[in-house]
């Protein structure tokens, strides 16, 4: 009985220590520069691998690629973007092929792993904004967090 309990406890401890990062974004660089650093020094950082995430602000499908505009958020230990009003800026995530904007919709959380491929200037309202561009190698679209009802 003691042996069985020890084995179960050991298995439980091993699963507790297992990574909670989704498989497709687990192989990330150890030290990603921040989005703000890439905006400030994009040319020097071109080719650098990053793991960034945030909230989807816009999705554009072209003939052979999809560009997703992401409002950057810091990442939790599980690589999920944190729920916060604090942002380091925005970036563009470039995907090969078509991604359905009904699935990759505004407000969803996304984490990407890829290489920086320069920057692109676009207009937000009347402001010219320089976006770092990530050529996406892998990504994870997060399920929405449940909304809890609290008693009043």
The model's pLDDT over 21-79, given as tens digits with 9 standing for 90+, comes to 878 788 777 788 999 999 998 889 999 999 999 999 999 999 999 999 999 999 999 99
Q: How would you write the chain as a 3-class SS string? A: CHHHHHHHHHHHHHHHHCCCCCHHHCCCCCCCCCHHHHHHCHHHHCCCEEEEEEEEEEEEECCCEEEEEEEEECECCCCCECCCCCCCCEEEEEEECCCCCCCCCCCCEEEEEEEEEEEEEEEECCEEEEEEEEEEEEEEECCCCCCCCCCC
The bridge status of strand 127-141 relative to strand 90-96 is: parallel
Tokens of 143: 């399920």
Neighbours of 49 (CB within 10 A): 18
Domains and CATH numbers, the chain: 22-141 (2.40.50.140)
Contact 65, 93 (CB under 8 A): no
Contact 67, 78 (CB under 8 A): no
The model's pLDDT over 68-96, given as tens digits with 9 standing for 90+, comes to 999 999 999 999 999 989 999 999 999 99
pTM for the model stands at: 0.82
């Amino acid at each position: 009985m003691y042996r069985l309990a020890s084995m179960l406890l050991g298995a439980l401890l091993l699963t507790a220590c297992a990574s909670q990062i989704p498989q497709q974004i687990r192989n990330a660089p150890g030290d990603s520069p921040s989005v703000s650093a890439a905006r400030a020094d994009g040319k020097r950082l071109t080719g650098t691998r990053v793991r960034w995430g945030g909230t989807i602000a816009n999705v554009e499908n072209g003939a052979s690629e999809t560009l997703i505009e992401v409002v950057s958020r810091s990442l939790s230990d599980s690589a999920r973007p944190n729920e916060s009003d604090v942002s380091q800026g925005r970036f563009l995530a470039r995907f090969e092929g078509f991604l359905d904007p009904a699935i990759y919709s505004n407000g969803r959380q996304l984490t990407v792993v890829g290489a920086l491929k320069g920057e692109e200037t676009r207009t937000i309202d009347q402001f010219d904004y320089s976006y770092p561009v990530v050529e996406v190698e892998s990504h994870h679209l997060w399920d929405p967090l449940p909304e809890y009802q609290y008693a009043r």
